[in-house]
Amino acid sequence: MKQPETTASTTAEAVQERMLRHDAFSQLLGLEVEQVGPGYCRLHFTVRPDMLNGFAVLHGGVAFAAADSAFAFACNSHGRQSVGLTVTIDYLEAGKLGDVITVEAREESLKHKVGVYQVRATNQHGVVLALFKGTAYRTSKAIL
């Protein structure tokens, strides 16, 4: 009997669920994944007091970590284990206590061994807080 074919979206969802289940740090940040698909992830989190730096604004490391998680969910969404090669982030505005930050990762290029992703972090008013670019190496190891 032939097994039903897994769609690309179903694979992306299964990979994201598996990754998040084992990702204690993303859970600690309170990241909530809204949507995932092939080469794509959108998640959000709320800025808590323990996420603020000494100037009472969102710590850059928190913004980076949230963007890195969205990048990871997007680049692994095709079912092949991928690892970051290089990433950069530009901080444009500061997040504030209580802000709801949406982080959206989009695949810009996908080749056999390398994928490139753009990630935007915005607040609830649509203000862009950070721009992140990630390049991932795609291994031959299947995730599922």
User: In this predicted structure, which of 1-15, 36-50, 70-84 has the lowest mean pLDDT?
Assistant: 1-15
DSSP 14-83: HHHHHHHHT-HHHHHHT-EEEEEETTEEEEEEE--GGGB-TTSSB-HHHHHHHHHHHHHHHHTTTSEEEE
Report pLDDT digits (tens) over 71-88: 999 999 999 999 999 999
Identify the band that residue 4 occupies on the pLDDT scale cut at 50, 70 and 90.
Answer: very low
Report pLDDT digits (tens) over 116-137: 999 999 999 999 999 999 999 9
Identify the band that residue 6 occupies on the pLDDT scale cut at 50, 70 and 90.
Answer: low
User: In this predicted structure, which of 5-14, 99-108, 133-142 has the lowest mean pLDDT?
Assistant: 5-14
pLDDT of residue 1: 40
CB 68 within 8 A of CB 87: yes
Report pLDDT digits (tens) over 101-110: 999 999 999 9
Per-residue pLDDT for 5 more than 70? no
